[in-house]
Copies of this chain bind each other. A is one copy, B any other.
Amino acid sequence: MARTAGSHSEITGPRVLQAALTLFARHGFAAVSMRQIAAEVGVQAGALYNYTPDKQTLLFDLMRTHMEGLLEAWEAEKSDGDATERLRRFTRFHITYHLERPDEVFISYMELRNLTPENFREIEALRRKYETELEKILRDGLAEGVFNVPDPRVVTMAVIAMVTGVTTWYRTAGRLSVEAVQDIYWQMVQRAVSA
């Protein structure tokens, strides 16, 4: 029998993840109990185990969903073209995507220490896959002769740290639009890697 749209688990599953995200971001993974997550969702603590076996799985699901969403969104956004145009797209995309998800970004960096070794390896592989997208653009630009990057791997890490850092200081109500911030960062990224 087909599942009814809006069935219990379809509605509650995302709400459980959202509650876990909010609480982990506010208090830290180790300080949050399954009981608190249940209270935030508005279900009994026991009912939570219909949706997830444990807190570790919730953390892992949050990080995996974030990284898979990032990779999918980039697949949809990226284009062919020369390395400079691809780098411009990457820079702008990365800023927008991360600015819209401050809690996910915070969790993804800060709670790596709380993943089991196996889960950590899986998240690291997804992160590495995303980083490799940028590294490939840098290597292609090097081959085209338009970039001068002494060490594409290190430059990849530097560019990602720089653009992700926007999430730590940008405020929607501040003096700059997202577009203005993207322009400033793109100018810096382009000059930092150009031949």
Contacts and interface: CB of A to CB of B under 8 A. Distances in A.
Interface in A149-193: 150-151, 154-155, 157-162, 164-166, 168-169, 176, 181, 183-185, 187-189, 191-193
How many copies of the shown chain assemble into the complex?
2
Interface in A8-44: 26-31
Contact of A188 (B106, B184, B192): B192
Interface residues of A, number: 37
Contacts of A166: 157, 161
B157 A26 contact: no
Contacts of A151: 176, 184
B26 A28 contact: no
Given A28-B31, A31-B28, A154-B184, A168 B161 contact: yes
Contacts of A184: 150-151, 154-155, 158
Contacts of A168: 109, 157, 161
